[in-house]
Amino acid sequence: MKASNKPSVDTQAYELHFPRLVAVATSEFHIPKEEAMRLVHDLLVSSLFRLNPPGDLASSLDGALRTAAQRLAEARV
């Protein structure tokens, strides 16, 4: 959560980033669609509760998805 006491993600941002990130997760990281949707949803929900919001939400979510996908792949090996 940020200093202004408002979460840095809102419903509009959710609607904007959810499909975009699901598309990246499935096409780039080959995560099955259902799993990708759950992962992206969890990323967006957890970003509501982050103390230090990023300067650029899109970059932050992209980075979060990339690391999550890597960790997921590592966990599968």
Partner 1 sequence: MAKPPDFNPLFQAEFTATLARLNAELEAAEKSVEPLLRRTPRHSWLSLAAHPDLSNAGALDRLAKLVTEYLNRDTTYALSLAELAVAVAEEMPDNSYPKAVMAQLRAHALKDLGKVLRTIARHEDAIDALLRAELLLEVHHGLYQDVVLIRLHLAFTYQEVDRYTEAFALIRECKQVFADYGDSRMVLIAGVTEGALLHRLAKYREAREAYMLLMLSAHPDLETEAALRKNIGLCCIELGDFVEAESNLLESARLYSNELGQPIEALRAQTGYGRLLIRMRQIERGIVQLKPIRRAFLRQGMPEEAGICALEIIEGLLTRNKPEDAERLARMVIAEFTRANLNNRAITALGYLTRAIGAKQASAPLVQNVREYILSLRTNPEREFLRRTTVSGSESEQ
Number of shown-chain residues binding partner 1 (CB under 8 A): 43
- 29 makes contact with partner 1 (CB under 8 A): no
Torsion of Cα atoms, 43 then 19 then 16 then 75, to 10°: 20
Q: Provide the Cα torsion 67, 72, 76, 77; round to 10°.
A: 0
Residue 41 binds to partner 1 (criterion: CB under 8 A): yes
Shortest Å distance, C-beta 30 to partner 1? 15
Asked if 40 and 21 count as a contact pair (C-beta separation under 8 A), the reply is yes
Residues that bind partner 1 (CB under 8 A): 1, 3, 5-7, 9-11, 14-15, 18-19, 22-23, 33, 37, 39, 41-46, 48-52, 54-56, 58-60, 62-64, 66-68, 71-72, 75
